[in-house]
Amino acid sequence: MLHSILYIYAFNFTAILSTLHRFLKDTLVYGLAAVLPRAVNVGLVKLHTTSLAASSFAVNTDYYIYAAYLNALLTYGMETAFFRFFSKEKATGKVIGTSFLSLLASTFLFMGVLFFFSEPIAQFFGFENPWFFKLLIGTITIDTLLVIPYAYLRVNNKALVFTAYKIVHVFVFALLNLFFLWWLPDAIERSVALPETLVNYYQTNPKVLHIFVAGFIASALTFIGVLPTILRVKFVFDFSLLKKMLRYSLPIMIGGLAFVTNENLDKLLLGELLGKEQMGVYAACYKLGVFMTLYIMAFRLGAEPFFFNQAGKENAKETYATILTWFTILGAFFMVFIVVFIDFFAGVLLGNSIYFKALQIVPIILLANLFLGIYNNLSIWYKLTDKTVYGMYFSVFGAVITVVLNLLLIPKIGFIASAWVTLATYATMVALSYVFGKKHYPVPYQLHKIGGYLLLATSLSALSFLHFRANYLFAVFSLCFFLSTVFFTERKQLQQLLKK
């Protein structure tokens, strides 16, 4: 009897590790799709800041904040609904057709209304040029129509194809930025023979418009490339299925809008309450959290379809628990790595020492983003049980915390308040999701390990930042100590994974 139990346990453990190994390989590929666009965008920052006046750069920032809100609104949670119903329904053509045609109809209807009222809406949002808003709507329309084709590639484990399209998109965008903001003005200055139409276009339009044009062209070309993928599927529209998908997705949309608020409201409030300079210092140092954001994004791209595909398998919950443990380990390591070398990263990415006075927010933001990643992992329970309304509740509650605490604390303690509020918001959302998930879809998460690694990483980061700043001997010691702890604690799993 004991032998049988041990055999079953060993079999399940091996199956979980095998599944984890396949998942990690896909996540590495998705990581490229997540990291490369952000890396290219970071590389373009210097081109933008040297080409644009500060006011124009602010317009560029506003543009992408509004894009984030419109993206959450126009997709209305249909991507996650697609993954959920694709794994439930046998008629995949019906799921693809219903979700894609629904987004197609709603997007064009919404786009038509916005284009008709584009001038007053553009003025309301502070865009001096109506074409800024028109290009925003056009680009978001195309990006919305890409959601289901991209999801179809991911759910069918076409990670390489998905990544290839993402790479094409970002390189087209980057090349057009270089063309409009660097090569073309230089060519005009050197009196190179150019088409008169092109010269007139460049000289009669604000430079920031060229960035928006580049984004529109990159999205359009990508959509043309992806379109054959979706057209190969026989579309079947099912209204009854659409109603089910909307019941599932609309709470996700509200949660998405709340999430965008959590991510962006602090910067808007800092600008209003403390002035643009303080907001700029905060926003610049906030960018050092991009490493954790990239990690979370790469993980999410691989995890979401994977979690749904695993739902019906025998060891699904044990797999989810193992993945969260390793997600926390890697995220905690990234946090320690960035904090112990924080002055180096600040010098490379920020350059100007005027921004360094806000570096104190970086360890807090890194930990907050790690909690956000843990929340994304925990959220699988309400997605699998079709209780997405809970995700809406958690996100809206988080948005309330963000608004109230920022308004109360920013005037008292400055921009550091926004960092602590971000951490408090995501930590609260993690706690709520775990408590309710334990009731509706209990997963045997290894809380003692997760808590231990978070405590270790936080302690090492705090010691390094507060007492051993720029001490690279302590930095190396911290990383070695963390990795040694992981090795001795997880050595059996590591040996199994390395054998795969």
Q: How many CB atoms lie within 10 A of CB 363?
A: 25
Out of 98-102, 302-306, 362-366, 423-427, pick the least confident. 302-306
User: Strand, coil or helix: what is 348?
Assistant: helix
The answer to whether 63 and 235 have CB atoms below 8 angstroms apart is no
Read off the pLDDT of each residue in 120-134 and give the average, rounded to a whole number.
Answer: 80
User: Strand, coil or helix: what is 315?
Assistant: coil
pLDDT, tens digit (0-9, with 9 covering 90-100), for 201-234: 777 888 888 888 999 999 999 999 988 877 777 7
pLDDT, tens digit (0-9, with 9 covering 90-100), for 317-330: 888 888 899 899 99
**pLDDT of the residue at 19:** 54
CA–chain centroid gap for 67, Å, is 14
Q: Which long-range contacts (CB under 8 A, 24 or more apart) does 330-333 make?
A: 330/295, 331/292, 331/295, 331/296, 331/370, 331/373, 331/374, 332/370, 332/453, 332/454, 332/456, 332/457, 332/482, 333/457, 333/479, 333/482, 333/483, 333/486
The answer to whether 395 and 258 have CB atoms below 8 angstroms apart is yes
DSSP string covering 112-168: HHHHHTHHHHHHHTT-SSHHHHHHHHHHHHHHHHTHHHHHHHHHTT-HHHHHHHHHH
Phi-psi bin for 162: left (phi > 0), alpha (psi -120 to 50), beta? alpha
The answer to whether 76 and 140 have CB atoms below 8 angstroms apart is no
The answer to whether 150 and 33 have CB atoms below 8 angstroms apart is no
Nearest to residue 242, comparing CAs of 78, 107, 109?
78
Identify the top-confidence range among 113-117, 186-190, 215-219, 290-294. 215-219
Residue matched to tokens 């993928």: 229
Structure tokens at 207: 């430079």
pLDDT, tens digit (0-9, with 9 covering 90-100), for 1-23: 434 433 333 444 455 555 555 55
Burial code (b: 16+ CB inside 10 Å, e: under 16) for 139-159 equals: bbbbbbbbbbbbbbbbbebbb
User: Strand, coil or helix: what is 194?
Assistant: coil
What distance in Å separates the CA atoms of residue 114 and residue 45, rounded to the nearest whole number? 29
Q: How confident is the model at residue 452 (pLDDT cuts 50, 70, 90)?
A: very high
What distance in Å separates the CA atoms of residue 363 and residue 419, rounded to the nearest whole number? 9
235 φ, ψ to 5°?
-75, 135
pLDDT, tens digit (0-9, with 9 covering 90-100), for 28-38: 666 666 667 76
Q: How confident is the model at residue 50 (pLDDT cuts 50, 70, 90)?
A: low
Amino acid at 360: Q
Say which residues have a Cβ less than 8 Å from residue 451's Cβ, sequence separation at least 6.
none
pTM: 0.72
